[in-house]
């Protein structure tokens, strides 16, 4: 019988900034099984959201994930607008799409950089992050902050993109495009990157369907799934663009899909800017007086895949229930298919290949006895519980006197 070695990665490790724990069960160099543990990042957002008003929830959902800090407000706005039956103005649609696509560009550049870093190819890391800076500058110009833009509200956006800013946006986009050309050339033609990523972490079309993977992870395996096309929202039906897919399903294909998607994003933004010029400045809000009772689904295509928000309203000014599902939640499960059978060195880039985002995915786990269903407690919790019990007994029998 062969013996398996357990190699833990994390929870605080230099590979990824977020805390998460991977347990790789290895036989020699080969990964035989994998488990992942999260919860280090749990902030009980769904619960917090019920204590905030609809306007405040936007600031909260923006802070689910810093990298896709527009997708969550986007999906939440879609959900609430579905409940209230609000039709937003065309100018709002364009502005929302522009912000969403700028975010996709900066997120994909970030991923390309990190992927380079995981391969030990730090030049790509430094390049990609350098070329990402102009996009963040654009955000700062439009919204006042580099990340967490606070652009969305029910029925509109908080700030206009005034027409005099359009020229600057075009200039930066041109710059980003030429830099993306350079990066794409460097990545696609590099023999080292080919050797490290081709045929690594392959997900077949069937795996993607079985695990319900979304976003670039699915599109790299030839499944053309994209909320922007399948369930159009904002300005996406008004502009012309195509869904990028690739067939191979390995890490290289995932990189390819993301790099080519950046060109689509640039073209979407350019078309939106044209649309913006035709609309009247300042028409960015519709008046919302109340959110009626009801339920709403909101979906948005984040850089990593489909974000889904489900909101129940009881007619008051805050959500009665708010359910969130982020794309990484389903994408991370595909590790079971893609990592097993790889060498340990390849497992790291495979883990990074789906662009996992743990702060979106966090769930709270309560450990229960499988037979009785009783909650299991650790020593600290038992001591706390005993302290509470003692205090209440003391009170009951007036022992303190």
Q: Is 357 in the site for other proteins (CB under 8 A)?
A: yes
Min dist. Cβ of residue 198 to other proteins (A): 27
The contact mask relative to other proteins for 244-263 (x = CB under 8 A, - = no) is --------------------
**Rounded Cα distance, 160 and 149, in Å:** 13
Residue count, binding to other proteins (CB under 8 A): 39
> Binding to other proteins by residue 158, rule CB under 8 A?
no
Supply the minimum distance, in Å, between the C-beta of residue 123 and ligand SF4: 28
- On the 0-12 / 13-18 / 19+ scale of CB atoms within 10 A, 333 is middle
Look-up of token digits 């007994």: 393
> Is the Cβ of residue 17 or residue 55 nearer to ligand SF4 in the bound state?
17
Name which of 66 and 341 has its Cβ closer to ligand SF4.
66
CB of 60 to other proteins, least distance (A): 6
- 375: tokens are 């909650």
Binding status of residue 42 toward ligand SF4 by CB under 6 A: no
- Minimum distance between the CB of residue 62 and ligand SF4, rounded to whole angstroms? 8
H/E run at residue 380: helix 379-396
Site string for ligand SF4, 264-303 (x = CB under 6 A): ----------------------------------------
From the list ligand SF4, other proteins, none, which binds 42 (C-beta under 5 to 8 Å, kind-based)?
A: other proteins
Q: In the window 97-156, what residues touch other proteins (CB under 8 A)?
A: 110, 113, 125-126, 129-130, 133, 146-148
CA 78, CA 304: separation in Å to the nearest integer? Answer: 18
Q: Which part of the chain contacts other proteins (CB under 8 A), choosing from 63-71, 91-99, 295-303, 366-374?
A: 63-71
Question: Closest CB to ligand SF4 among 147 and 318?
Answer: 147
Q: For ligand SF4, which is the closer residue by CB, 60 or 193?
A: 60
DSSP 129-191: HHHHHHHHHHHHHHHSSSS----EETTEESS---GGGHHHHHHHHHHHHHHHHHHHHHHHT-H
- In the bound complex, what is the minimum distance in angstroms from residue 50's beta carbon to other proteins? 11
Peptide bond into 163 cis (omega under 30): no
CB of 43 to ligand SF4, least distance (A): 9
Candidates 66, 144, 199, 341; binder of ligand SF4 (CB under 6 A) is 66
User: Could you tell me which residues come within 8 angstroms of residue 261 by beta carbon, excluding any fewer than 6 positions away?
Assistant: 104, 108, 216, 244
Q: Whole-angstrom Cα distance, residue 266 to residue 243?
A: 14
Two tokens, residue 114: 């990190």
Cα separation values, 360 from 55, 182, 213, 328, 372, Å: 21, 31, 15, 7, 32
Sign of CA dihedral 284, 290, 292, 296: positive
Q: Which of residues 73-92 bind other proteins (CB under 8 A)?
A: none
Comparison of 9 and 272: residue with beta carbon closer to other proteins: 9
Tokens 């696509």 appear where? 101
CA atoms within 13 A on the CB side of 207: 22
- CA–CA dist 135, 173 (Å, integer): 8
Contact string 142-171 vs ligand SF4 (x = CB under 6 A): ------x-----------------------
Does residue number 63 form part of the binding site for ligand SF4 (CB under 6 A)? yes
Helix, strand, coil fractions of the chain, as percent rounded to 5: 50, 15, 35
Instruction: Tell me which residues touch other proteins (CB under 8 A).
Output: 11-14, 17-19, 39-45, 47-48, 51, 59-60, 63-67, 69, 110, 113, 125-126, 129-130, 133, 146-148, 357, 359, 362, 364
Instruction: Tell me which residues touch ligand SF4 (CB under 6 A).
Output: 63, 66, 148
């Amino acid at each position: 019988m062969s013996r398996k070695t357990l190699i833990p990665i994390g929870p605080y490790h230099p590979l990824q900034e977020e805390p998460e724990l991977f347990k790789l069960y290895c036989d020699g160099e080969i990964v035989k099984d994998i488990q992942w543990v999260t919860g280090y990042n749990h902030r009980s957002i769904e619960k917090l959201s019920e204590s905030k008003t609809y306007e405040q929830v936007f600031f909260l959902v923006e802070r689910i994930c810093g990298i896709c800090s527009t997708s969550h407000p986007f999906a939440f706005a879609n959900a609430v607008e579905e409940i209230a039956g609000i039709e937003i103005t065309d100018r709002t649609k364009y502005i929302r799409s522009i912000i969403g696509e700028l975010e996709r560009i900066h997120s994909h550049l970030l991923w390309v950089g990190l992927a380079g870093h995981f391969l030990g190819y730090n030049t790509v890391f430094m390049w990609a992050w350098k070329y990402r800076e102009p996009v963040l500058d654009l955000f700062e110009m439009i919204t006042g902050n580099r990340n967490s833009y606070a652009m969305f509200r029910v029925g509109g956006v908080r700030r206009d993109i005034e027409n005099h800013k359009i020229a600057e946006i075009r200039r930066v986009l041109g710059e980003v495009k030429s830099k993306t050309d350079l990066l794409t050339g460097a990545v696609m033609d590099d023999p080292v990157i080919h050797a490290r990523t081709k045929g690594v972490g392959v997900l077949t079309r069937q795996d993607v369907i079985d695990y319900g993977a979304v976003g670039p992870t699915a599109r790299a395996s030839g499944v053309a799934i994209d909320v922007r096309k399948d369930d159009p929202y904002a300005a996406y039906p008004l502009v012309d663009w195509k869904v990028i897919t690739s067939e191979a399903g390995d890490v290289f294909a995932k990189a390819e899909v993301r790099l080519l998607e950046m060109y689509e994003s640039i073209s979407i933004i350019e078309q939106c800017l044209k649309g913006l010029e035709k609309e009247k400045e300042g028409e960015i809000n519709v008046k919302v007086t109340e959110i009626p009772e009801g339920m709403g689904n909101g979906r948005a295509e984040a850089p990593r895949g489909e974000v889904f928000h489900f909101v129940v309203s009881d007619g008051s000014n805050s959500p009665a229930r708010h359910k969130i599902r982020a794309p990484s939640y389903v994408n991370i499960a595909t590790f079971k298919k893609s990592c097993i059978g790889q060498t340990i060195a390849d497992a790291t880039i495979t883990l990074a290949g789906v662009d996992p985002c743990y702060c979106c995915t966090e769930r709270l786990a309560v450990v229960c006895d499988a037979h009785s269903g009783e909650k299991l407690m650790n020593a600290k919790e038992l001591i706390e519980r005993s302290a509470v019990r003692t205090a209440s007994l003391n009170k009951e029998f007036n022992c303190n006197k």
